[in-house]
Amino acid sequence: MAQHTLEVIVENSPGVLARVAGLFSRRAYNIERLSVGPTDNPETSKMDIVVNLEGHALEQVIAQLDKLINVIAIKEIVPNSAQPIVHDTQPDYQN
Amino acid sequence: MSQMNGASSLVASLEAAGVDVMFGIPGGAILPAYDPIFSSSIRHILVRHEQGAGHAATGYAQVTGRVGVCIATSGPGATNLVTPLADAAMDSVPVVAITGQVPSVAIGTDAFQEADIRGITMPFAKHNYLITDPADIPRAIAEAFHIASTGRPGPVLVDIAKDALQKMTEFAYPTSVSLKGYKPKLAPDAQSITDAADLITQSSKPVFYVGGGVIKADASRELMELAQLLGAPVVTTLMARGAFPDSHPLNLGMPGMHGTVAAVTALQKADLLITLGARFDDRVTGKLSTFAVNAKVIHADVDPAEIGKNRFADVAVLGDLKHSIAALIPALKFALAKNRPDLTAWLRQVNSLKATYPLGYAMPTDGSLAPQYVIERLGKISGPETIFAAGVGQHQMWASQFVSYENPRTWLNSGGLGTMGYAVPAAMGAKVGAPDTTVWAIDGDGCFQMTNQELTTCALNNIPIKVAIINNESLGMVRQWQTLFYEGRYSNTSLESKRIPNFPMLAEAMGCVGLSCERPEDVDATIEKAMNINDQPVVVDFRVARDAMVWPLVAAGASNDDIMIARETAPDWDSQEL
């Protein structure tokens, strides 16, 4: 299985990391690697999440992540590709 | 803008959000809020247990389509809300819960009555807040109502530290809510509608697989038009009973573990599932790998994460169901004009199943009461406008099977979480939301003993619900499984007695009228007597036969192809043309 990196822009508010980590835990998805850092905008943070998932399971992770109210945007960074796949949370992947 | 403390700002915000009633219990941390509640226009109903407040908010929301509101203090008050909030999440019910929290300086110190309710509800709440600054209260309340009621509805919790309620603040309720990470999609993409219409015209065995989303989206009228346009059979899941009238000839009834043979088999043999606001729950699909193996799937839902979660969707229609179905009607008309599939043979097949295997039950030969008969008579006598709320177990399945539901928002139950004790408090909330409508709770004797304390609330607050206890002195559904799968070893499912507790006396003690009935010939007169009492809650103890079982049955984890109509009895497939 190929590793996929998700670049997730989240609101910089307390509890967001717990929401993301809890989602992975309760839906039984494994996180390979996770890092959190600031962005140019002090109101947002960026999470890089590396998962070992493909196809359908990966789509589910993205769809479920996108349901978190504090998640603003998700990009999938494909290895060997300059152009990331943008999972635009607005409006298609929103609930 | 005006100066007030956080508590007044909270109550002013709830008023601005349009709240007319809330269910709750005060306590230390939420106490500041109860002072302005005392003089507010909002009706506060003092329940006897916070779980009752949560389910009442759910019942209110299910009946009115508005957001239900419950309120509790920190610690145990908040944790008692966990079950109803999890319940509301599983059944997509719009509920806002307000909880007091210990003062912000005490958070994290294991203070008296401290519980991290935001953390506790994080796994299932649609969203939640911990507010420590009174300036954040109006925005949090506005967002909570927006999030709870839009998109796929769900519970939102707002936890407010006591000092935030006490400090002075400026009150200004936001005129609009804009959330960067939350923009529910209303209108479906035009292409998805065209694709869905095309797929329907290529199908010769389509079924409308209708879920609770149709009721949440108030799309019953649109569904009726769509179903009649195509003339295909309809199945309504446990959460969708009433979304499409049971009396309609196209309605095959409920699918799933205790579904009708016609509904279960129609899904299995279909070549297309037109899935509207349903989620391929395990109780519907049975063993997923054997579910509707020859069917293509159109999946219309407001929640993108449901598309393809359990079953691949050939066409996904993402959007609010009212919009989606409304858009599908003209598209399908256009497509059918070019190519109208002949569904005659398919309808003949499913109607043959419907005629051959209607829901039924045997009357006990010893003169005791059949629980199904009681429930059937309740439905017939009280009529199609009546609202029914059920607990969880055998009585719930019979209430779904043997009452004919003709209207949306007339059937309330805990479908997803399966919460025993749901019926009485949910009926209470339903009656508050629809005071001029008859509300019956159909409850089991096991369920009733979990939450009956809210009958006191009903008696004291002029909420005259009616409760039918289907008293089989057992945890009946578990007992049925023990009969079928554990060789009749009835470990801890006997409640021992139809007389202890004495339910009519218990009802009387709580200010209700208590009745009882144990002979078939007394059923109608007892129900009519209960129907004529409208100034007090009524509890009827129907003492029924213990060994009645719910049929049909697809065993847990089994294929829907192995549906049983009675013990060790499968339908006679050889006689059916399928």
pLDDT single digits (tens) B360-384 = 999 999 999 999 999 999 999 999 9
pLDDT score of B189 more than 50: yes
Q: How far is B397 from chain A (nearest CA, A)?
A: 29
pLDDT for the residue numbered A95:
37
Q: Which of B126, B181, B318 minimises the CB distance to A11?
A: B181
Main-chain phi, psi angles of A64, to 5 degrees: -70, -40
CA B435/CA B57 separation, integer angstroms = 15
- Average pLDDT estimate for B539-543: 98
pLDDT for the residue numbered A80:
67
A91 and chain B in contact, CB less than 8 A: yes
Return the CATH architecture of domain A4-87: 2-Layer Sandwich (3.30)
Length of chain B: 578
Q: Give the H/E segment covering residue B547.
A: none
Whether the CB-CB separation of B416 and B284 falls below 8 Å is answered with no
Lowest model confidence (mean pLDDT) among B122-126, B364-368, B448-452: B364-368
pLDDT for the residue numbered A53:
86
A14 and chain B in contact, CB less than 8 A: yes
Main-chain phi, psi angles of B179, to 5 degrees: -120, 125
Q: How far is B35 from chain A (nearest CA, A)?
A: 30
- Percent of residues, chain B, with pLDDT higher than 70: 100
Question: Who contacts B209 (Cβ-Cβ below 8 Å, separation ≥6)?
Answer: B235, B237, B255, B267, B273, B274, B275, B276, B278
Q: Give CATH 3.40.50.970 domain extents, chain B.
A: 2-171, 371-543
Domain B2-171: give its CATH superfamily: Thiamin diphosphate (ThDP)-binding fold, Pyr/PP domains (3.40.50.970)
On the question of a cis peptide bond just before residue B552, with omega within 30 degrees of 0, the verdict is: yes
User: B371-543: which CATH topology?
Assistant: Rossmann fold (3.40.50)
- The pLDDT confidence band at residue A82, using thresholds 50, 70 and 90, is low
Mutate to test the interface with B, among A20, A46, A69 (most CBs of B within 10 A): A69
Question: Who contacts B471 (Cβ-Cβ below 8 Å, separation ≥6)?
Answer: B444, B445, B498, B503, B541, B542, B543, B544
Q: Give the H/E segment covering residue B376.
A: helix B371-382
Helix (H, G, I), strand (E, B) or coil at A48: strand
Chain B interface residues (partner A, CB cutoff 8 A): 118-119, 122-123, 126-127, 130, 147, 151-152, 179-185, 302-305, 307-309, 312, 318
Q: Of the candidates B348, B214, B216, which has an alpha carbon nearest to the alpha carbon of residue B269?
A: B348
CA A37/CA A48 separation, integer angstroms = 9
Q: Of the candidates B319, B385, B382, B310, which has an alpha carbon nearest to the alpha carbon of residue B526?
A: B382
Contacts with B181 from chain A: Cβ below 8 Å: 10-11, 68-73, 89
Main-chain phi, psi angles of B188, to 5 degrees: -75, 160
Interface predicted TM-score (ipTM) over 0.90? yes
Q: How far is B272 from chain A (nearest CA, A)?
A: 21
Give the chain A residue whose CA is nearest to the CA of B132. Answer: A14
Whether the CB-CB separation of A85 and A74 falls below 8 Å is answered with no
pLDDT score of B393 more than 50: yes
Mutate to test the interface with A, among B131, B158, B182 (most CBs of A within 10 A): B182
pLDDT for the residue numbered A14:
85
- Average pLDDT estimate for B308-312: 95
Contacts with B90 from chain A: Cβ below 8 Å: none
Domain boundaries, chain A: 4-87
Lowest model confidence (mean pLDDT) among A53-67, B57-71, B101-115, B511-525: A53-67
CA A72/CA B367 separation, integer angstroms = 64
Could you tell me how many CB contacts below 8 A there are between chain A and chain B? Answer: 65
First to last CA, chain A: 29
Q: Of the candidates B110, B112, B116, which has an alpha carbon nearest to the alpha carbon of residue B128?
A: B116
**DSSP structural state of residue A95:** -
CATH of domain B190-356: 3.40.50.1220
CA B416/CA B152 separation, integer angstroms = 15
Q: How far is B281 from chain A (nearest CA, A)?
A: 16
Give the chain A residue whose CA is nearest to the CA of B303. Answer: A95
Q: What is the mean pLDDT of chain B?
A: 97
A13 and chain B in contact, CB less than 8 A: no
pLDDT score of B99 more than 80: yes
Partnered with residue B517 across adjacent β-strands are B542
pLDDT for the residue numbered A87:
62
pLDDT for the residue numbered A91:
40
pLDDT for the residue numbered B128:
98
- Average pLDDT estimate for B461-475: 98
First to last CA, chain B: 69
Main-chain phi, psi angles of B101, to 5 degrees: -125, 155
- Average pLDDT estimate for B98-109: 98
Cβ within 8 Å, pair A94-B185: yes
Q: How far is CA B53 from CA B21, B77, B349, B417, B442, in A?
A: 11, 10, 47, 17, 19
Say how many C-beta atoms besides its own lie within 10 A of residue B79's C-beta. 18
Q: Where are the alpha helices (DSSP H) in B217-320?
A: 220-230, 261-269, 282-285
A81 and chain B in contact, CB less than 8 A: no
Q: Of the candidates B13, B31, B119, which has an alpha carbon nearest to the alpha carbon of residue B71?
A: B31
